[in-house]
Structure 1
């Protein structure tokens, strides 16, 4: 953090003033130089004079952390956090290190609350201890400043932590209790925050197998978005409904939502939506209609166009497509390359990824590697057992029984 002298020097240079110009008739150039180099402390009279010459309030100079410095820090770490949240890399620890020197001295204002929130989230994602206290301080500060939308973000984050532990019922109960608490206090959240709550609640209903309530909430959110001309969550809402349609093997509904998403991708020029849609299409062709050559064509189109780290989820679908065409040896190579992304926590995402070990078990059995076949069948079974009754569960358990029966 800057010293008082460093702060004065920085402001002087920002305003294009020389030492002599800032000193004016009220200070000597030499005394101002000593103050800027922290070799002399200005009197209150001198401090008021310097602040007046810099055209700022003297309290801005006296503040332990000046507002300008706080805003610059927040702007920097917001940018860093957006990048890390997009890629989930190791950079969260660098964000925490940037904020940590300020934590004990943050004044009571929005910038401080947001820095505490980002500090807490970064510690959590970096798997470091001590993230709970700054999160509580951030929430307390938001509430005191009547920044209820920001407080709502913290409520959703806490619910997400339970979700990440696969405690889906607890996560849903927390998000519902949060909504009730805001309503009880007559807090009106803005439209974007309302849609955030709708989306989180819907995917949690899907996670516990309550499709009816999930679909109801999503339909209400879509209608609300259309009525208010808000497109903020349309991508997420349509994407979830597309996947739900695939799980129900409802081609008409799938095609409807995929069409909507492709229009949205074109409208927003968002390439990531196109990648997601291609992944869903390859998955549908492999696991539901068993059109393996078509699935491979969709996969290969993406493998040729994008970098490997952008499309690693396609490796599983490539392996499944090759296995379906009887090219087991090639399939095994692609399946081995597939890694389950550590930030996947929804049963839909996890269950489709757990198919990997079942396919590997089938291939190892074909190759006569019986112990490996049994091991991967067991891994797939143990992973899928806690999941809701999805099509993947039947497939994986059938493979487990098949491999087990062969070795009795």
Structure 2
């Protein structure tokens, strides 16, 4: 929407005539020319119009099509947890890039484009988008949001699996974060979590120090963003280290957290409320694991049968997970033939899962297949299958999160 059209639209929305908006500052004729994009207002006139209409200058001067931008953000494909919206961005957004509004909504679209460029290996274009977003926020005086976007840029590097660059980029934000953390507490919360998360396989000291700082800040600010994930990550770390006493600290944190946070989201994150941090998926399971998974599957099937508009309990989302849990249940029951008949590698493909923990998690759960081959005496096929799966996480197979993978490898290869 052009400047003149935006002024006219706001004027009509507020029930003002040309004369009323023009006031004593400008003539009715000049305002008409401006609204019809036949004349550009001076800065003084622009300031007057913005003040009279009750909006910012940046709102009036934003380029692009705000309606198109909002409609694009409403597209459900953008929020699919299991399939990156490559085609939508390639076929509908990039050809219409000039329509992206120079607004906060528009910056969300640009971020999606940046992620697309990371995902498709176009690093230079991703950096160009980063510069564009930073300049937008600086131009309207929101330096804190420019810093927030620098963090989003680091997070986007997950999509090119460049974990070291993501960590180094985050480290470089420390001075900026310190400058704005009192003004915008979310900046500090986000920074602490990602500084810790990215450091996991590169800097153990940073990983632990910033993880603990993040949890402290959550309590201090009563802002529990990433609280669940931070406890999960630290609990896994100490569990894999064999320090079960320290790991129990984070298990207890989550037991308390889940006792008052009844979000539907956690119904699908946690199978065992007494053991919210699931250290192992296929090995070392508790005696009541079959009962736990049966109850979980019953809850999921009940949700599928009823209407629910909450995106956190999307029936399509649950349907993606049900077959995975069904295979695991069959494995726990030692019904290996069911696993062999119903397994498919594609079930575990998650283009959206770019964090090392997510990628390893899906790799581990897919090992239900080579384990079932092994248990039925098909040892060579089991080893072939394990190797296929290991290749999907070749770059992170020595991650701190990969302990169960190594344990299963020892079983299958009898090392």
**RMSD in angstroms over aligned alpha carbons?**
4.7
Instruction: Say yes or no: does 1:195 pair with 2:189.
Output: yes
Determine the C-alpha separation between the residues in 2 that align with 1:7 and 1:381: 55
- Which residue of 2 is the match for residue 244 of structure 1? 237
| 8 Å Cα contact 1:357/1:377 also seen in 2 | no
**1:287 alignment partner, one of 283, 288, 291:** 283
For residue 327 of structure 1, report the CA deviation from its aligned partner: 0.5
Compared with structure 1, are the counterparts of its residues 256 and 67 closer, same or farther at alpha carbon in structure 2 (3 Å cutoff)? same
Quote the Cα distance in structure 2 between the aligned partners of 1:377 and 1:217.
35
Of 326, 332, 336, the match for 1:328: 336
Cα distance in 1 between the residues matched to 2:8 and 2:140: 32
Of 148, 162, 167, the residue aligned with 2:157 is 162
Distance in 1 (alpha carbons) for counterparts of 2:156 and 2:39: 49
Q: Distance in 2 between matches of 1:257 and 1:171?
A: 26
TM-score (norm 2): 0.70
1: distance between equivalents of 2:7 and 2:170? Answer: 47
Instruction: Classify the secondary structure of the residue corresponding to 2:161.
Output: coil
**Ranges in structure 1 where 5+ consecutive residues have no aligned partner:** none
Q: Secondary structure at the match of 1:288?
A: coil
Cα deviation, residue 193, structure 1: 0.8
Tell me the distance in 2 between the aligned counterparts of 1:21 and 1:142: 33
Residue 331 (structure 1) shift:
2.6
Q: Scaled by the length of structure 1, what TM-score is found?
A: 0.71
User: Of residues 295, 309, 314 in structure 1, which corresponds to 2:316?
Assistant: 309
Aligned residue in 1 for 2:134: 139
Structure 2 residue 97 is the aligned partner of structure 1 residue 100: yes
Contact 1:335 1:356 in 2 (8 A): no
Tell me what 2:367 maps to.
358
Structure 1 position 317, deviation (Å): 4.3
- 1:7–1:124: structure 2 CA closer, same or farther, 3 Å change rule? closer
**356, 377, 380: which one aligns with 2:389:** 380
Selected match of 2:224 from 222, 231, 240 = 231
Q: Is the 8 A contact 1:202 1:215 kept in 2?
A: yes
Select which of 260, 269, 272 maps to 2:253. 260
Deviations 1:21-69 (A, max 9, x none): 9999x989xxx8x998x6x95899xxx9xx99x9559x98xx9x83588
The structure in which a higher percent of residues are helix is 1
Q: How has the CA–CA distance of structure 1 residues 227 and 43 changed in structure 2, closer, same or farther, with 3 Å as cutoff? A: closer
Q: Give the 3-state SS of the residue equivalent to 1:202 in structure 2.
A: helix
Deviation string 1:260-290 (CA, Å, 9 cap, x unpaired) is 3354345444111232122756664743335
The equivalent residue for 1:84 is 78
Instruction: Please give the alpha-carbon distance, in whole angstroms, between the structure 2 residues aligned to 1:43 and 1:161.
Output: 38
Deviation at 1:197, TM superposition (A): 1.0
Question: Which residue of 2 is the match for residue 175 of structure 1?
Answer: 170
- Alignment deviations for residues 284-318 of structure 1 (CA, whole Å, 9 cap, x no partner): 47433353424433542443244453333464344
The alpha-carbon deviation at position 199 of structure 1 amounts to 0.4
Q: Which moved more, 1:318-327 or 1:288-297?
A: 288-297
Could you give the per-residue CA deviations for residues 122-178 of structure 1, whole angstroms, max 9, x where no partner exists? 213445764432321221343455533222223223322433333323322221122
* Structure 2 residue 294 is the aligned partner of structure 1 residue 297: yes
Q: Which stretch shows the higher mean deviation, 374-383 or 253-262?
A: 253-262
Alignment of 1:20-169 (within 5 A): 56=53, 66-67=60-61, 76=70, 80=74, 84-85=78-79, 87=81, 90=85, 96=93, 100-102=97-99, 112=103, 114=104, 117-127=107-117, 130-143=125-138, 145-169=140-164
The alpha-carbon distance between structure 1 residues 154 and 250, as it changes in their structure 2 partners (threshold 3 A), is same
Aligned pairs, how many?
A: 376
1:307-361 CA-to-partner distances (Å, cap 9, x unmatched) read 4533334643442332232101223355437323212223332223213453312
Corresponding residue for 1:398?
410
Higher RCO, Cα 8 Å, sep 6+: 2
- Equivalence for 1:215: 208
User: How far 1:379 moved relative to its partner?
Assistant: 0.7
TM-fit CA distance, 1:117: 3.4
Larger radius of gyration: 1
C-alpha distance 131-118 of structure 1, shift in aligned 2 (>3 A): farther
Please tell me whether the aligned partners of residues 154 and 170 of structure 2 are also in contact (alpha carbons under 8 angstroms): yes
Cα 1:133–1:116, aligned 2, differ >3 Å: closer, same or farther?
farther
